[in-house]
């Protein structure tokens, strides 16, 4: 499962 | 993207625009801590290393460029602009911000999600951002006279991470596997550091008196 990341946040 | 995150990003954008507006129009950085601005420039430089490698969206890239550009230009203004730098109070802005950077880097080397260069730098930027406001809060307590724009800048800067907390709660309940303790704890610590500022800011707003922090 692709781990949701906070790297798509600023 | 959710409304909390968008509101958080817009509040963050507003904070840098308020500061740039203040410095650019009245050519003064009185009450502004250069140390905090340098820490924020470092936060963005270490957090947005992926700006060239991972394209997420136009919005994401544009906002990263704005935050990088504004934070570095604010540092340039305070350091090198012939008029602005005269209003910088270096005798009061004495927080040793290196004492913040070193523990954050050490912590990032031990507590992170993945031990890769980008991930450790990203985690360092999270920890550093949580404490980056400290030199500015110390300066505000020292200088006593807090002008409106500086007060609004600090308020907006603190509010944006508070809105991000709602964003993380929303994402936790809507996305599977969205568990990021490091981000959440750093974000809560960051927001708590503003707690007393928020209290005095609302008090001054409610009683319609000048904002003053207790010494």
Q: Which two tokens stand for residue B49?
A: 């290393």
What is the DSSP-derived secondary structure letter of residue A7? G
Q: Do B176 and A7 touch (CB under 8 A)?
A: no
Question: 């802005």: which residue's tokens?
Answer: B93
For chain A, say whether B54 makes contact (Cβ under 8 Å).
Answer: yes
Among A4, A7, A10, the residue with its CB nearest the CB of B178 is A4
Contacts with A6 from chain B: Cβ below 8 Å: 168, 180, 183
pLDDT for the residue numbered B214:
85
* Helix/strand/coil (H/E/C) assignment for every residue in chain B: CCHHHHHHHHHHHHHHHHHHHHHHHHCCCCCCCHHHHHHHHHHHHHHCHHHCCCCCCHHHHHHHHHHHHHHHHHHHHHHHCCCHHHHCCCCCCCCCCHHHHHHHHHHHHHCCCCCCHHHHHHHHHHHHHHHCCHHHHHHHHHHCCCCHHHHHHHHHHHHHHHHHHHHHHHHHHHCCCCCCHHHHHHHHHHHHHCHHHHHHHHHHHHCCCCCCCCC
A interface with B, Cβ–Cβ below 8 Å: 1, 3-10
Q: Please check whether residue B115 is in contact with residue B175, taking contact to mean a CB–CB distance below 8 angstroms.
A: no
Among B5, B122, B177, the residue with its CB nearest the CB of A7 is B122
Q: Please check whether residue B36 is in contact with residue B133, taking contact to mean a CB–CB distance below 8 angstroms.
A: yes
Interface confidence (ipTM) of the complex? 0.88
B50, closest residue in chain A (CA to CA): A7
Question: What pLDDT digit, counting tens, does each position of A1-10 carry?
Answer: 345 688 999 9
pLDDT for the residue numbered B161:
98
Give me the tens of pLDDT residue by residue for chain B, a chain 215 residues long.
999 999 999 999 999 999 999 999 999 999 999 999 999 999 999 999 999 999 999 999 999 999 999 999 999 999 999 999 999 999 999 999 999 999 999 999 999 999 999 999 999 999 999 999 999 999 999 987 789 899 999 999 999 999 999 999 999 999 988 999 999 999 999 999 999 999 999 999 999 999 988 87
Q: Please check whether residue B7 is in contact with residue B167, taking contact to mean a CB–CB distance below 8 angstroms.
A: no
- Tell me the longest C-alpha to C-alpha distance in chain A: 23
pLDDT for the residue numbered A4:
64
């Amino acid at each position: 499962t692709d781990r949701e990341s906070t790297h798509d946040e600023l | 993207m959710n409304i909390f995150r968008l509101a958080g990003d817009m509040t963050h954008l507003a904070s840098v625009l308020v500061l740039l507006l203040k410095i650019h129009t009245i050519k003064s950085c009185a009450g502004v801590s250069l140390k905090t601005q340098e820490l924020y420039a470092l936060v963005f430089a270490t957090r947005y290393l992926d700006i060239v490698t991972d394209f997420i969206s136009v919005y994401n890239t544009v906002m990263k460029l704005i935050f990088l550009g504004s934070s570095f230009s604010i540092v340039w203004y305070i350091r090198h602009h012939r008029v602005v730098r005269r209003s910088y109070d270096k005798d009061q802005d004495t927080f040793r911000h290196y004492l913040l950077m070193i523990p954050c880097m050490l912590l990032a080397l031990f507590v992170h999600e993945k031990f890769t260069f980008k991930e450790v730098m990203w985690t360092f930027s999270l920890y550093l951002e949580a404490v980056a406001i400290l030199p500015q809060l110390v300066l505000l307590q020292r200088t006593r006279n807090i002008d409106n724009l500086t007060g609004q800048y600090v308020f907006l800067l603190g509010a944006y991470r508070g809105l991000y907390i709602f964003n993380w709660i929303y994402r936790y309940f809507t996305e599977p596997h969205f568990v990021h303790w490091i981000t959440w704890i750093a974000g809560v610590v960051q927001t708590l550091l503003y707690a007393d500022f928020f209290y005095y800011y609302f008090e001054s707003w409610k009683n319609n008196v000048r904002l003053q922090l207790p010494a």
